[in-house]
Amino acid sequence: MFTSLLIANRGEIACRIIRTAQRMGMRTIAIYSEADANALHVREADEAVLIGAASATKSYLRIDAVMEAARKCGAEAIHPGYGFLSENQELAAACERENIIFVGPSVQSMRLMGLKDEAKRIMEAAGVPVTPGYHGEDQRDKTLLSEADKIGYPVLIKAVAGGGGRGMRRVDSEDAFLDALESARREAKSAFADDRVLVEKFIVNPRHIEVQIFGDRRGRIAHFYERDCSVQRRHQKVLEESPAPGMSAKVRTAICAAAVEAARAVAYENAGTVEFIVDGSGPLRADGFWFMEMNTRLQVEHPVSEAITGYDLVELQLRIAAGGSVPEQDQIAQRGHAIEARLYAEDPANNYMPSTGLLTHFVLPTGRNIRVDAGYVAGDRVSEHYDPMLAKVIAHAPTRELAISALGSAMAGVQSWPVHTNAGFLTRCLAEPDFIKGDVDTGFIEAHDDVLHGMHQQPAWKASLTALGTQCFRPDTSGGQSPWQMQDGWRLNQPQNLVHAFSDDGETLRVNLKHQGENNWRLTCGELALGVHNVHWSGDGIVYALDGVVHQTQIMTLATDMVTFDNGDAWALEKPNPDAAIFDAEASAVVRSPMPGKVLSVSVLPADTVSKGQVLIVLEAMKMEHALSAPADAVVEVVLVKPGDQVGDGDDLIRFETAS
């Protein structure tokens, strides 16, 4: 076994690898960019080496810098994690030349599986079922359009060198194909330096089920069972679980055997994941799945496989890289159910825009059956240069129902400010009846948009829960004080009746709270009326029931703001300023950047007339494209940016003419 390991990655996966390697007695070496000088993975490693500027292309994606760091520190092995260079054949080849162990598959296996079109040809030859599609070399627009017409809509355009949903577009009609193709190519070029695509049939009601496999240099291949990753947004996984809901023993045997054959076809070594698209229109069938791709690396969701099998997959990776063997298949058994949620730095109330900045307040869940793999702690800074994932939260329990309940409670307790997260969104996903029933496919989020993005974003809702929290958090001042000094709304022979006022974007929101006995309250704000029940103190917050859902709420005071944490959501309301303007006309006279990023395209010129909702600018940030639209019908006065410009959070991009 080698004794020193360089981790060619950052964030939570770097921290996770470091912890296992240190437990095994290895000296761990981190690499970092200028933006990550004080990052958690740097602090946790035994050594750390600066390899470049903040941009990933100038640091984490530089093979020469990674190899120089390994030479400098005498690293015997390199673990690439996932993302960045994890599936890069050149890094694996460089390790071979330098006699450094690459913790991953061989260069040959990576080459064969690295391009989706070549991988599908190999799978077809090996007898693994493959989705119908076009995987040819002719990349002309007319060829791809013609092939899409032959396949039949809907189709899926996918980057040949892609992963993580980047460079992927669903197309429902011929008219939309060329625009989607251009967008997919642009994103693929930016993410993978390769704009080639393939086109394949889009399976209606698809489920995404993958199989964790391991191989060793003796030719032994074993699987660690399946994971269901169907709950996705923008083709990126949100919730992952194992076993897959509705998976029978017969179908499990078939899909796991196909994954093993896929790995055997390329003499696979170390950890890999074989991904299948599965017909979810009815019960799972042994003839209802098709090979999608093979990821030649560790996956983000590997902890759910660890939970149900009891194996540390990173430790197994390291042992196999050092010449060890894969366990016999009959030594790998399933136990219980595990679900993982990906906690992202993004703002669900603002179209899931990435959220960056200092994690001034950051609380992650703890508890029995809960595991947290985090890349950040309170006081760390979230950079716009990298993937927005903050942590993974995993629940493991004897049954799926118990695992869902444990993970839902855990996500409800996440607190982050002023960086926004998707914790509230995840809490609602886990509470959705269709998810609890296991009725999921890759369109789950779109199908439940009204539930998952509903009332909790309304100003009156936010003000009402802030008022309840403010009232119930009011400290007990009765001891030693006159009752005339108390502000608890007490009235002789009448129920408590109080009013709290807050300001949200200049709008004053008044909430009336009426105590109805037995820890019950009625809250009214404008036309909204809420009845909350069984309000009681728990820890440093309150717990109550609202519309049959249990809520955890805590209030934090920051200067003039009241920050409310409620079931994973977070928002700030001000105490109203009577001198503030009710309406800010400038808000509709300018388009501002919602985050730091790079301008990809600008579709208007000065003097153009635009309509509300019309896309004006496409911005790239945190590896994703974001469309910025006109806030109202208007005439463009000036365009302040051009494609290729780097912009900061809040920068003016386009200004409109205003009435004189």
What secondary structure does DSSP assign to 484-530, as a single string?
Answer: GG--S--BTTB--EEEEEEEETTEEEEEEEEE-STT-EEEEETTEEE
Q: Measure the CA–CA gap between 24 and 77, rounded to whole angstroms.
A: 14
Report angle CA 151, 152, 156 to the nearest 5 degrees. Answer: 75
**Dihedral sign, Cα of residue 455, residue 460, residue 464, residue 466:** positive
Q: Which of 252, 297, 428, 655 is catalytic?
A: 297
Work out the burial of residue 306: count CB atoms within 10 Å of its CB; fewer than 13 is exposed, 13-18 middle, 19 or more buried: buried
- 285 a catalytic residue: no
Q: Which residue has the tokens 């240190």?
A: 22
Is 260 in contact with 221 (CB distance < 8 Å)?
yes
Calculate the alpha carbon distances from 563 to 347, 468, 550, 560, 572 in Å. 15, 13, 20, 10, 4
Q: Measure the CA–CA gap between 597 and 621, rounded to whole angstroms.
A: 5
Strands laid side by side in the 206-215 sheet: 289-295, 270-279, 206-215, 221-233, 236-242, 337-344, 389-397, 370-374
DSSP state of 57: G
- Beta-carbon contacts of 600 under 8 Å, excluding residues fewer than 6 positions away, are 186, 190, 618, 619, 620, 625, 643
**Closest CA relative to residue 453, chosen from 554, 552, 352, 344:** 352
Cis geometry, peptide bond prior to residue 327 (ω within 30 degrees of 0):
no
**Closest CA relative to residue 87, chosen from 99, 104, 68:** 104
- Beta-carbon contacts of 103 under 8 Å, excluding residues fewer than 6 positions away, are 5, 77, 78, 79, 80, 270, 317, 318, 321
- Beta-carbon contacts of 550 under 8 Å, excluding residues fewer than 6 positions away, are 543, 544
Q: Measure the CA–CA gap between 519 and 657, rounded to whole angstroms.
A: 54
- Give the bridge partners for 171, in sequence order: 155
Work out the burial of residue 79: count CB atoms within 10 Å of its CB; fewer than 13 is exposed, 13-18 middle, 19 or more buried: buried
Q: Which residue has the tokens 């994941």?
A: 273
Q: Measure the CA–CA gap between 302 and 547, rounded to whole angstroms.
A: 35
- Beta-carbon contacts of 260 under 8 Å, excluding residues fewer than 6 positions away, are 213, 221, 222, 223
DSSP state of 210: E
Q: Which helix (H) or strand (E) holds 21?
A: helix 11-23
- Helix, strand or coil, per DSSP, at residue 383: coil
* Cβ count near 342 (within 10 Å): 21
- Helix, strand or coil, per DSSP, at residue 112: helix
* Cβ count near 617 (within 10 Å): 23
**Closest CA relative to residue 363, chosen from 336, 341, 393, 387:** 393
Pairing of strands 652-656, 590-592: antiparallel
Catalytic residues: 297
